[in-house]
Amino acid sequence: MSETQKQIIDRAEAVLLHTYNRYQIVLDHGEGMYLYDVDGNKYLDFYAGIAVHALGHNYPGLNDAIKSQLDKLVHTSNYYYNVPAVETAEKLTKIAHMDRVFFTNSGTEAIEGAIKMARKYAYRRDGSTDHEMIAMNHSFHGRTMGALSVTGNPHYQEAFQPLIGGVKFAEFNNLESVKALVTDKTCAILLEPVQGEGGIYPAEESFLKGLRQLCDEKDILLIFDEIQCGMGRTGEMFAWQRFGVEPDIMTVAKALGCGLPIGAFLCKEKAAALEAGDHGSTYGGNPLVCAAASKILDIFRQDHILDHVKEAGAYLYDQLEQLKNRHQDKIVDHRGVGLIQGLEFTGPVGPIIQRAMNKGLILISAEANTIRFLPPLIVEKTHIDEMIRILEQSI
Ligand SMILES: *Cc1c(COP(=O)(O)O)cnc(C)c1O
């Protein structure tokens, strides 16, 4: 590390709240699949800013679309209409098979909105105010109080009690464990179709189908959190589209703005219970972030991003499978689909990730023992080969 890089890190540690244990590099710019630090060191990007940079860095046309909106109008508030928001809403509802959308600035806010909508829906159904939600163990839905309350990880929750009440946790991929928690008060069942932070666990088709049937029978809303696994990562635009099991409400963020802060919750007409005065956001859906999202959705279609993910994802799967077979003493499991995959090791992966970083590869973990592979969706086979080579040297 250069003196300047060390100085910047020292300055950061003097003023930033210490909520992260950061890797000791200062990133400066990106190009395609690569990131560069302030000393000019090059890193192959296999984390994409935590599943955000779906199109890598500096994708042709995207920055121009953002810049032209930047010079026109950045913000309006939601007292007025703006064209980029309308366009993004039209495109997003169409590809998600949803009827309505509310724009937020982040993933956790999308979850807050989904929770409020489920409660309001149930309130309209029976007039009572003691509704319950069912979420999953090992889930992750965000850090604000509502999203934290449905995050099935006691470690994140402990110090912040009391959280919102009426939340129960079931076992992921275990339909009976969900059924056992349903009561007359249940208003929603919430889950990630592929659990991300919890270690890359894809939902089974029978589980999602069973949940859909259960929700239909009991008039419960099914909420899918697509914030990490959505936007093409599984090879479908949204992970539930692999199985055709439609939610009533879904959340999206991360790759929706490829780095500009935008999230959303979407719903079917029947679930659209929030009315004027029920919810709001000053920034949410401003023209700048929507100009980015609108362009990103166009690029996905025009440049056949999903076809590419299917092909690159299959190749990544084969390569990781072979790596696992070569290191059976250290690698215990390989999970995932498309470009959201994980390798579980016998012990903590932190040292492996650090060694890979020293050799010019950026990876991230999911839980202590799993390496998560979330490259930009534009990743090519040569990048996957390069990643495997560095990772194998780092194991
Ligand atoms: C990242 C994430 C969130 C929270 O999103 P933020 O933008 O960090 O608030 C919620 N759900 C899932 C599945 C996520 O991966």
* Ligand 1 geometric centre to CA of 3 (Å): 34
Instruction: Please work out, in degrees rounded to the nearest 5, the angle formed at the alpha carbon of residue 314 by the alpha carbons of 309 and 317.
Output: 120
103 DSSP β-pair partners: 264
Ligand 1 contact via 226 beta carbon (within 6 Å): no
The pLDDT of residue 1 is 76
Chain centroid, CA 311 distance in Å: 21
Cross-strand partners of 30: 35
- Tell the residue nearest (CA) to atom 5 of ligand 1: 107
Minimum-distance ligand 1 atom for the alpha carbon of 195: 13
Output the pLDDT for position 288: 98
Q: Does 108 contact ligand 1 (Cβ within 6 A)?
A: yes
d(CA 146, CA 230): 21
Ligand 1 centroid distance, CA of 32 (Å): 24
pLDDT at 6: 94
Distance between Cα 213 and ligand 1 center (Å): 27
CA–CA distance, 36 with 26 (Å, rounded to integer): 9
Indicate if ligand 1 lies below 6 Å from the C-beta of 140. Answer: yes
pLDDT digits (tens, 9 = 90+) for 259-306: 999 999 999 999 999 999 999 999 999 999 999 999 999 999 999 999
Q: Which two tokens stand for residue 18?
A: 């210490």
Position 56 scores a pLDDT of 98
Name the stretches of the chain with pLDDT < 50.
Answer: none
Chain-centre distance for alpha carbon 65: 24
User: Tokens 């400066």 label which residue?
Assistant: 28
Q: Give this prediction's pTM.
A: 0.98
Cβ 141 under 6 angstroms from ligand 1: yes
Distance of CA 342 to the CA centre of its chain: 15
Residue from 141, 191, 226, 374 to probe ligand 1 pocket by mutation (most atoms less than 8 Å from CB): 141
Q: With beta carbons less than 8 A apart as the criterion, state whether 147 and 111 touch.
A: yes
25 with 258: CB under 8 angstroms? no
pLDDT score of 3? 80
Which atom of ligand 1 is closest in space to residue 50's alpha carbon?
A: 1
In angstroms, what is the span from residue 115 Cα to ligand 1's centroid? Answer: 14
Any atom of ligand 1 within 6 Å of the Cβ of 45: no
